[in-house]
Structure 1
Amino acid sequence: MKTGIFGGTFDPIHIGHIISVLEVKLKFGLDRVIFIPARQSPHKTLKPSDDDDRVEMLRKATAGYEGIGLDTVELQREGRSFTYDTAVYLKEKYPEDELYFLMGTDQYESFESWYRHEDLLEMMKFIVMMRHSDDVDIANPFIRADQLVVEISSTLVRARIGQGLPYRHFLDASVYEYIKENALYETQSST
């Protein structure tokens, strides 16, 4: 079985995440893709929103998509979460699966700074999802994924909410309703 892994803070998850994952799943014939929300990215200093809120938004946004799942293993760890630790966990959980880690060009460009990055290359394959604005050469063994990508970021969504600007079109309707009902991100600025 071919299993894709898509990690991030998903703060909040938006339609760009969903479209990118579904397109990669189709293009590379992945049987499933597992979203793995991080407690704290090793490469970010801003602490994400409440874990329960992010998980609930992920559940809502991915509901109804065949072959899309969620694993909260990284939220169960203390401190920063490393992809290597998650890869070890996934190799044990899915010993027969071929694992594919889905990443953006920003992650690709910083990959050599990742904890045990050389070991990671032995454990799974890496698909780099290219944005139209990306001007990056992707080297072997990384796999380049030119695809339909919606240029949205969680930072943009949070900024729009904090500034009282329209943002509904960036989100699944159920995620939008959850954010409104729980007054998430309303006091945040563009950080």
Structure 2
Amino acid sequence: MRKIALFGGSFDPVHTDHVNIAKSCFENLGFEEVWMIPTYLNPFKTKVNSSVAERLEMLDIVCKKFDFIKINKYEIEKQCRSYTFETIAAIKEEYPNYDFSFIMGSDQLDEFESWDHFDKLIKLINFKVFLRSSSYNKTIVKKYNLEVFSFSNNFLSSTKIRNLQDLVLQDNEINNYINNNLLYLEERVASKMSPKRFQHSLNVGELAKTLAEKNNLDVQKAWVAGTLHDVTKCWTKAEHRNYLQKWGPQLLTEPEPVWHSFTGSLHLEHDWLIKDQAILQAVFNHTVASPEMTPMDMVIFCADKVSKERNYPGVEQLREVVQKDLVAGFKSILKQQYLVAVKKHGIENIGTSLTKSYQHWVLDWGE
């Protein structure tokens, strides 16, 4: 009789502690396989933060690394909220000759008795409890004679991952998937800025995709860089200053209004763990450009300045130029930005980066 561990959860996203529990089941408890059962919607939650397809793709990354981990799609295929009792009963009926146990974290013990059809559930299957912390409900464990196990615990949670906490402990491939597909923007971006600023960010991402495709560039990278270009725009001056003092103190000589392009790039590198230099450089250069602009840099620079909600005088003409000729559009926008900055702040207060960019692309290259 095959010995199978059933492991249910939202897996939104799956993380290394989920994997470490599964590995402990296989390596220490004698289970031949661990079936991860992603919920369509957890009975104790009101929403999921990524789509079914995205959660399955992240789980598939795990399954390709560990052949004893499988995905059971019973709850997903039902396409509605499912309770643990119903799921286990259905799986046991489908596989009557398998020896199943159900995996749960110790953080679930407090609400364990409130699970649907609990009196039947506790008799239906054996439960294996894995310690998520040193403090847990020992009364429930003793009352139902539950087995408790430790594992290689990083004290991770999906909530932490969604909020950029402890990413160094997360699987790199899953983290890259999350970043490349712009998952969890509500927690990571929208909650940190005004609705207007967030909509601007989305608009820039969409225009960046269009411009990238038109210029035979990587569309996904343009989408990521465009959407995240203002990720630190709403930080306080103190937050910008402290971050630059840590990661780029030489940039503090630039005007404060452009700091967000530098902190944005550094934040994506050090906190989001994005390592793609094309994305990081495009975000870094999106405000005042540089003499070493790549076509991707120009795409993000231009998309930011002519995104669809922009309505300043002359923006329609600039949009047309950018669509026809990326370099010409970039130079036209850069020239306008330089002249406006000089008029508004004085040439001595616009910083060296904008001055160097203007000198290289407008004066040296000509119109």
Same fold (TM over 0.5): yes
Counterpart in 2 of 1:56?
57
Matches within 5 A, 1:100-111: 100-111=101-112
Three-state SS of the structure 1 residue aligned to 2:163 is helix
For residues 103-149 of structure 1, the C-alpha deviation after alignment (integer angstroms, 9 at most, x for no partner) is 01222221111111121122210001013432431223321112322
Counterpart in 1 of 2:153?
149
Counterpart in 2 of 1:119?
120
Unaligned runs of 5+ in 2: 192-367
Stretch deviating more after TM superposition (132-141 or 75-84): 132-141
Structure 1 residue 183 and structure 2 residue 187: aligned?
A: no
Measure how far apart 1:27 and its partner are.
1.9
Structure 1 residue 7 and structure 2 residue 8: aligned?
A: yes
Measure how far apart 1:30 and its partner are.
0.7
Counterpart in 1 of 2:270?
none
- Structure having the higher helix fraction is 2
Three-state SS of the structure 2 residue aligned to 1:85 is helix
Matches within 5 A, 1:81-96: 81-96=82-97
Three-state SS of the structure 2 residue aligned to 1:19 is helix
Measure how far apart 1:182 and its partner are.
0.8
- The residue type equivalent to 2:42 in the other structure is S
Q: Quick check: 1:98–1:124 contact (8 Å CA) kept in 2?
A: no
- Distance across 1 between alignment mates of 2:98 and 2:40: 25
Structure 1 residue 41 and structure 2 residue 45: aligned?
A: no
RMSD: 2.0
C-alpha change, 1:189 and 1:64, in structure 2 (3 Å) is closer
Runs of 4+ in 1 over 4 A off after TM superposition: none
For residues 64-93 of structure 1, the C-alpha deviation after alignment (integer angstroms, 9 at most, x for no partner) is 313210011111224321011111121022
Counterpart in 2 of 1:66?
67
C-alpha change, 1:150 and 1:64, in structure 2 (3 Å) is same
- Distance across 2 between alignment mates of 1:53 and 1:38: 13
Three-state SS of the structure 2 residue aligned to 1:74 is helix
- Distance across 1 between alignment mates of 2:49 and 2:85: 21
Measure how far apart 1:24 and its partner are.
2.6
- Distance across 2 between alignment mates of 1:19 and 1:175: 15
Measure how far apart 1:50 and its partner are.
0.4
Q: TM-score, normalised by structure 2?
A: 0.48
- Distance across 2 between alignment mates of 1:146 and 1:114: 23
- The residue type equivalent to 2:95 in the other structure is Y
C-alpha change, 1:67 and 1:47, in structure 2 (3 Å) is closer
- Structure having the higher strand fraction is 1
Counterpart in 1 of 2:19?
18
Measure how far apart 1:40 and its partner are.
0.7
Q: Quick check: 2:106–2:136 contact (8 Å CA) kept in 1?
A: no
- Distance across 2 between alignment mates of 1:110 and 1:151: 20
Q: Quick check: 1:157–1:170 contact (8 Å CA) kept in 2?
A: no
Task: Pick the structure with greater CA Rg.
Answer: 2
- Distance across 1 between alignment mates of 2:102 and 2:147: 10
- The residue type equivalent to 2:87 in the other structure is T
- Distance across 2 between alignment mates of 1:82 and 1:72: 14
- The residue type equivalent to 1:95 in the other structure is P
Measure how far apart 1:189 and its partner are.
4.7
